[in-house]
A and B are shown apart, each in its own frame.
Chain A
Amino acid sequence: MSHPALKASGLCKSYGDIKAVDGVSFDVEHGEIVGLLGPNGAGKTTTINMVLGILQPSAGHIEIEGIDIGRERSRALAQTNFAAVYAALPGNLTVYQNLRFFGLLYDVRDLDTRITALMSEFGLESLRNTRAGVLSSGEQTRLALAKALLNAPRLLLLDEPTASLDPSAAQQVRSLIRMLAQREQCGILWTSHNMYEVEETCHRVLFVSHGRILLEGDPKHLPQEHGAASLEELFIRLAREPLSANRAAS
């Protein structure tokens, strides 16, 4: 039986009376890049943290490659990896030491070969013995992506991976991510505030606001379907009027 890379069902997360995530359900298929969009505080990072197992949902459940993270946390997380702008790798370890440390944490077999291949793919060979803390933003992003691919994950979570990159470096990263999804057939959940990037990269987007998914669809067609000139205009409208958009969506 084939499972999606990620299946989130009825996810909720409450802090007292505040509902950060309120009944979110979605799948990410293999080879698919799904954009998770929404204004600040919409519940994107909360959702990602629940998928990463560092935040327990108040309700609902998550399956990675058909493995319930609530029941088999370690086995489920072995199928995934992530890179986020807010979770920099230890700056006091070198590029190689970081990759070796995380490679062992993920119990990657034939680790040195894997590290060599990833350093080559991400142009990190010359930075092998450089501490991560002194790398440029672009180099740190490449290192974070190399770390995220160490265990050849079936599900890759990328939280604003291009946020600190110049347009050229961001374009390279987007190409690489698209290539990875196609070549490795891993599912990718991507958050970004750059609508151009989302339109160019994602096969499908989920608009989240106030902890709920308001819209879902192909980023190239969604704006026209909802009477907006662009994805950015649709984003702004949804962010400011989530309830009316909710009605429009339904």
Chain B
Amino acid sequence: MKLRPIAAVALRQIYLMRSSPVRILPMVAWVAVDIVLWGFIARYLNGVNSRGINFTASLLGAVLFWDFFTRVMQGVTMAFFEDIWSRNFVNVFSSPLRISEYLCGLVLTGVATSAIGLLAMLAIASTVFGLKIASLGLLLLPFLMVLFLFGIALGVLASAMVLRLGPASEWLVWPIPAMLSPFAGVFYPLATLPGWMRAIGHALPPSYVFEAMRSVVSGGIADPGQLAAGVGLALLDVLLACWLFVTVYRYAVRSGLLARYSAESVS
């Protein structure tokens, strides 16, 4: 793999953001709205509950982590969609760029855009609502790693889906995080769920993060084995998603889909 082609894919997004602040706004605005909304809900619940539960840490922390995962996924898919919207597939894929380099470029873009969202969320959550995310200590690393890896996996998976089904299927991508959230136990323990939903929840790496986070917030400890399972599962998901993207890409080259691909020609 060469670094310069990877940098090119990420640089294109930086150019677009620099030339149009409107592109930066959604990265910050939606997560800010989420943090403000859930921050006040947590503050209200802290005032009315008599059991000493820290809703700021459990609720607001969960929202922050979930939004981070969502931003990573959207960072990857948005970079891919840029090539669709600008009908740039022929130009990009007729270059010496390798698929592995292209995927790395998408991931790099996801890192950059999600970091912007994460910083905005941390700033609001800590200054306005007093969330002490640093109290999680070193656990932050595996937490963020699992969510980051799973965000990349879903971003690549969603890109493969749109490459295969056409630009119109873009609208199937946006609801994916919302559809997964009930299974991932973002706001409640997996034990709350019926058996079949719990089984799906266990297959989702973020569920291990939220279970561990709730345990730590309520004074317990995070199970290292469970966290390792989350990391392993997330890594496996990344590999599977990349394999799927490469398989779909090869199909698109073989079938002529890639050569014909444009916003108008495929639906």
Contacts and interface: CB of A to CB of B under 8 A. Distances in A.
Given A55-B256, A56-B254, A107-B5, A91 B86 contact: yes
Interface stretch (A32-40, A75-83, A198-206, A208-216): A75-83
A101 B109 CA distance: 14
B259 A54 contact: yes
Interface residues of A, number: 35
Contact of B8 (A74, A78, A94, A101): A101
B30 interface: no
B16 A92 contact: yes
Contacts of A87: 87, 90-91
Nearest to B95: A105
Interface in A105-147: 105-107, 131, 147
Given A15-B256, A54-B253, A55-B258, A84 B90 contact: yes
A104 B86 contact: no
Contacts of B95: 77, 102, 105-106
A112 B7 CA distance: 15
Interface in A54-92: 54-56, 73-75, 77-78, 82, 84, 86-92
By secondary structure, the B interface counts as helix
Given A56-B253, A106-B95, A101 B4 contact: no
A111 to B, nearest CB: 9
A93 B16 contact: yes
Contacts of B89: 54
A75 B19 contact: no
A161 B96 CA distance: 22
Interface residues of B, number: 30
Contacts of A53: 93-94, 253
B88 to A, nearest CB: 5
A85 to B, nearest CB: 12
B15 A97 contact: yes
A55 B4 contact: no
A52 interface: yes
Output the residue of A54, A55, A56 with the most chain B CB within 10 A. A54
A101 B254 contact: no
Interface of B: 2, 4-5, 7-8, 11-12, 15-16, 19-20, 82, 86-98, 253-254, 256, 258-259
Given A46-B259, A107-B5, 14 more contacts: A54-B93, A54-B94, A55-B253, A74-B97, A78-B96, A89-B88, A90-B82, A90-B86, A90-B88, A92-B20, A92-B86, A93-B12, A104-B11, A107-B96
14 contacts: A49-B90, A54-B89, A55-B258, A55-B259, A74-B97, A77-B95, A84-B90, A86-B90, A92-B20, A93-B12, A94-B15, A104-B11, A105-B96, A107-B4
